[in-house]
C-alpha cells in the first residue's frame, strides 16, 4: 500500500482514462498488420484487440461491486498534539484480483490547519485485504473531519475508472491544553463596590459550600487532603460566591494579522489557541473562587456573531467548552464592542485576553476601568511568529505602561510559559 501526497479527485462517477490511447494505438497496429498479412493469426489479433475494452469494462463493473472499505479513529475527542490513530481497511470480496484501487482520505494537512484530500493506493488479491494505519497529530484546537470520501476502482488494463462515494467521515474534537499561570495580578471589588489593590490569594475569603470528588482541572490547592486520605480518593473543596460578585472573561481572537497567500504563516491560529487556553484558565480560576463567570467570544463560523455564556460552576463550563473550542476565527471585532457585552451584565470584574495590542484596544481598556469595576488584561506575545518581534515588543511595552498608569492590571504571557517555544 502506498500513500500519495498529491491527489487530483475525479469529478465524474465514471471516467475513460488516458490509457485508452494505448488501446487505440494497438488497434491501429492490428489493422495495419491485418491488411498487410491477411492471415488467420492477424484476424484473431484484431478481434482480441477489438473486444478488449468491452472485457475491461465488464471486469471493472465486477471489481467495483466487490471492494469494501472501513474507517475508524481511536478517539472522538483528544487534546491538541495528542496522537490520534486513524485506520483504513480495504477488502476485496470477489475471486478477481483488483490491482488498481485508490482510497481518497480526508486528513489534516502538514500544518494542521485544514482537512485536505490524500490518496492511499492498494493492490488487492482475490479475497484479500489491506490495512493502513497512521498516527495523526493536531497542533491546533477545533473540530476536524477525518475519514474516507471516495474510492476509485480502475479496470485491469486501466482503461476505465469508477468513483464510489462513501463519505465515511468522523469528527474529531481537539481540545486546548489546560494551563496554569503563576503571579497573576488580582484586584477585586469589595462589598462596598470599590476597587481594592490588595490581592486576595486563594479562595479563603469564601465559605466552603460542598466537597466533591476531584475532577481534572480543579485547583490543586482546593484538595481536601485530610478527607482524601480517609476516602482513599481525591476530594476537593468548593466555595460559595465571593459576596455575590461576578467576572466577565473576554476572548479577543480573530484574523488580526495579515498573512500573504504565498507564505505559510499560521500566526492567527497560533494566537487563537493561546487566547483560548488563557481564557479557559481565567474562567476556571474565577469559578474556583466561587464567582459567577461569563465568557464573551466571537464565532467566525457563524458570521462573526458575538456569544456570551454565563456559568455558575466548572461543570457547566466544561459542558459548554466544545462550543467555544469549535468557534471559527472571525475577521476581528473591536475591543470596545466586546466590552459592551460586559456592560450588559452585572459583572464587577473584567478579564480581557488578547494577543494583539493596538491604540484603540488600549484606549477601550483604560476607559473600562472604573471605581466600580476592575479590569485585567492577559496579553500573549507571539514573538516567534512576527516578522519584527523586537519592534513589536517595544511597542507593546509602551502600551502596557499606559494601561498600568490607568490602573489596569496586566499579565504578560510569553510563549515559553505556554510551552509554545518548541513549535
CATH number of the domain located at residue range(s) 2-175 in this protein: 2.60.40.10
C-alpha cell at 387: 516578522
Domain with CATH 3.40.50.410 in the chain: 241-418
CATH 2.60.40.10 domain extents, the chain = 2-175
- What pLDDT sits at residue 353? 95
Give the C-alpha separation, 214 to 237, whole Å.
9
CATH class, domain 241-418, is alpha beta
From 178, 117, 154, 169, select the one nearest 325 (Cα to Cα): 178
Helices in 119-200 by DSSP H: which ranges? none
- Determine how many CB atoms are found less than 10 A away from the CB of residue 189: 21
User: In Å, how far from its chain's centre is CA 295?
Assistant: 20
Cα–Cα distances (Å) from 24 to 20, 34, 36, 212, 310, in that order, read 6, 15, 18, 78, 70
Exposed (0-12), middle (13-18) or buried (19+): which is 21, by Cβ within 10 Å? exposed
Tens-digit pLDDT profile for the chain (423 aa)?
A: 444 444 567 888 899 999 999 999 988 988 888 777 777 777 888 888 899 999 999 999 999 999 999 999 999 999 988 889 999 999 999 998 999 999 988 888 766 667 788 888 889 999 999 998 888 888 889 888 889 989 999 999 999 999 998 888 888 999 999 888 877 765 544 333 333 333 334 444 445 556 777 766 566 667 777 777 877 788 777 655 444 578 999 999 888 777 665 456 688 888 999 999 999 999 999 998 888 899 999 988 777 789 999 999 999 999 999 999 988 887 778 899 999 888 776 667 899 999 999 999 999 999 888 756 789 999 999 988 888 889 999 999 999 999 999 989 999 999 988 888 655
Name the residue among 352, 356, 355 with its Cα closest to residue 373. Answer: 352
Q: Are strands 349-354 and 246-252 parallel, antiparallel or unpaired?
A: parallel
Amino acid at each position: 500500500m502506498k500513500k500519495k501526497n498529491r491527489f487530483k479527485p475525479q469529478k465524474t462517477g465514471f471516467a475513460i482514462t488516458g490509457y485508452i490511447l494505448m488501446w487505440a494505438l494497438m488497434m491501429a497496429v492490428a489493422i495495419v498488420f491485418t491488411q498487410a498479412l491477411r492471415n488467420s493469426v492477424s484476424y484473431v489479433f484484431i478481434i482480441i484487440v477489438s473486444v478488449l475494452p468491452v472485457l475491461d469494462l465488464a471486469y471493472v463493473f465486477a471489481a467495483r461491486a466487490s471492494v469494501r472499505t472501513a474507517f475508524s479513529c481511536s478517539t472522538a475527542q483528544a487534546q491538541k498534539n495528542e496522537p490520534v490513530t486513524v485506520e483504513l481497511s480495504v477488502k476485496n470480496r470477489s475471486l478477481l484480483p483488483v490491482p488498481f484501487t485508490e482510497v481518497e482520505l480526508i486528513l489534516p494537512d502538514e500544518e494542521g490547519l485544514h482537512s485536505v484530500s490524500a490518496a492511499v493506493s492498494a493492490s488487492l488479491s482475490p479475497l484479500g485485504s489491506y490495512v493502513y494505519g497512521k498516527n495523526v497529530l493536531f497542533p491546533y484546537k477545533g473540530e476536524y473531519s477525518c475519514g474516507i470520501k471516495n474510492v476509485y476502482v480502475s479496470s485491469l488494463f486501466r482503461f476505465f475508472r469508477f468513483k464510489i462515494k462513501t463519505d465515511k467521515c468522523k469528527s474529531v474534537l481537539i481540545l486546548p491544553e489546560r494551563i496554569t499561570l503563576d503571579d497573576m495580578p488580582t484586584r477585586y471589588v469589595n462589598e462596598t463596590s470599590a476597587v481594592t489593590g490588595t490581592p486576595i490569594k486563594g479562595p479563603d475569603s469564601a465559605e466552603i459550600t460542598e466537597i466533591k470528588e476531584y475532577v481534572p482541572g480543579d485547583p490543586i490547592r482546593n484538595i481536601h487532603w485530610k478527607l482524601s486520605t480517609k476516602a482513599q480518593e481525591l476530594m476537593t473543596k468548593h466555595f460559595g460566591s465571593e459576596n455575590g460578585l461576578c467576572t466577565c472573561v473576554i476572548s479577543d481572537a480573530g484574523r488580526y494579522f495579515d498573512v500573504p497567500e504565498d507564505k505559510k504563516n499560521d500566526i492567527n491560529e497560533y494566537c487563537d489557541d493561546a487566547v483560548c487556553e488563557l481564557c479557559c484558565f481565567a474562567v476556571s480560576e474565577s469559578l474556583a473562587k466561587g464567582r459567577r463567570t461569563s465568557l464573551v467570544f466571537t464565532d467566525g463560523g457563524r458570521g462573526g456573531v458575538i456569544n456570551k455564556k454565563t456559568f455558575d460552576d466548572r461543570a457547566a463550563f466544561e459542558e459548554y467548552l466544545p462550543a467555544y473550542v469549535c468557534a471559527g476565527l472571525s475577521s476581528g471585532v473591536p475591543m470596545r464592542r466586546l466590552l459592551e457585552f460586559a456592560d450588559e451584565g452585572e459583572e464587577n470584574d473584567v478579564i480581557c485576553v488578547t494577543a494583539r495590542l493596538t491604540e484603540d484596544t488600549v484606549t477601550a481598556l483604560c476607559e473600562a476601568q472604573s471605581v466600580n469595576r476592575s479590569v485585567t488584561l492577559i496579553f500573549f506575545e507571539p514573538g516567534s511568529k512576527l516578522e519584527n518581534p523586537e519592534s513589536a515588543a517595544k511597542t507593546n511595552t509602551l502600551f502596557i505602561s499606559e494601561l498600568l498608569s490607568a490602573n489596569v492590571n496586566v499579565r504578560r504571557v510569553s510563549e515559553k510559559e505556554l510551552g509554545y517555544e518548541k513549535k
